[in-house]
Amino acid sequence: MVLLALVGGWGLVRLLAPWQQRQLARWGFVRPNFRQEAVVVGTGSLAVVVGAVLALVMGRLGAAHGTILAAAVLAFATLGMLDDQLGDRSAGGFKGHLAALSHGRFTTGALKALGGGLVALLLAWWWGGALWVVIAHALLIALSANAINLLDVRPGRALKAALPLLVVSLLTSGASWAGLVGGAIALLPEDLAGRGMLGDTGANALGAGVGIGILAFDGVWQGVFLVALIGVHLYAERHSLSALIDRHRWLRAIDNWGRPGPVP
């Protein structure tokens, strides 16, 4: 069952990816990448939809957490899609969106942050536990989604962070993650080559899938991930993650792995 969902997720995304690229371009989901080249954005949406459908199927067949995983990735994908299509890039980071709000300007980034927080709280309540557990779980989901989103600024970077954690979730929590893992693997060639961007639609949702997976980890590991995620966000508010990666040889080597050429 796991292998079938894994291969099915990979195969469906590979089969439908060319059609998706044409449709996204037709609908205006195009924006400059880090090289200021116009590329299709939102390519991660196909893997998210396929992964969510297969998670629901696996859930109906008895796999754990299929319904909540599907709900998480679809909800965060929807919020990300609004930002991909309507987003104003003049404000960035939590502080930037809060500053815009203080001047009476409600950005799609603020909508994504506030909506994501609310969705994360509802998902954490659905998962269950005492109040402090629900709050901690909501933080894990919301911060995981945004952390993967923060990395989607260079080819393959977000997938290199999300995929290992999704694979761990597949191995520890079961078949519900198989379709999402297969779909994410299918995205790697185009994403590494820079022919498209996951966009907030894809990265936000894959991060939410990571967050739901972390909820099934042991409590100690949940605490480790929560501290790490808070640290990443505090650092990103003041500094560039890309500059950090470029300064450390082993991080730079991982970041450049699989790309067709050097990335400035």
Domain membership of residue 174 (yes or no) is yes
**Separation CA 67–CA 60 (nearest Å):** 8
Q: Cβ of 82: how many Cβ atoms within 10 Å?
A: 16
What total of structural domains would you count in the chain? 1
Q: Would you give per-residue pLDDT tens digits along the chain (264 residues)?
A: 889 999 999 999 999 999 999 999 998 888 888 778 888 999 999 999 999 999 999 999 989 999 999 999 999 999 998 888 776 655 555 555 555 555 556 566 777 788 999 999 999 999 999 999 999 999 999 999 999 999 999 999 999 999 999 999 999 988 999 999 999 999 999 999 988 899 999 999 999 999 999 999 989 999 999 999 999 999 998 999 999 999 999 999 999 998 876 544
Burial label for 15, CB within 10 Å (0-12, 13-18, 19+), is: exposed
Owning domain of residue 8: 2-256
Note whether residue 264 is domain-resident: no
Cβ-contact 199, 167 below 8 angstroms: no
For residue 150, tell me if it sits in a domain.
Answer: yes
Whether 226 is in a domain gets the answer yes
Q: Write down the pTM of the prediction.
A: 0.91
Instruction: Write out the two tokens for 224.
Output: 């480790």
Has residue 262 been placed in a domain? no
Task: Report how far apart the first and last C-alpha atoms of the chain are (Å, whole number).
Answer: 42
Q: Rounded to an integer, what distance in angstroms lies between the CA atom of residue 186 and that of residue 168?
A: 18
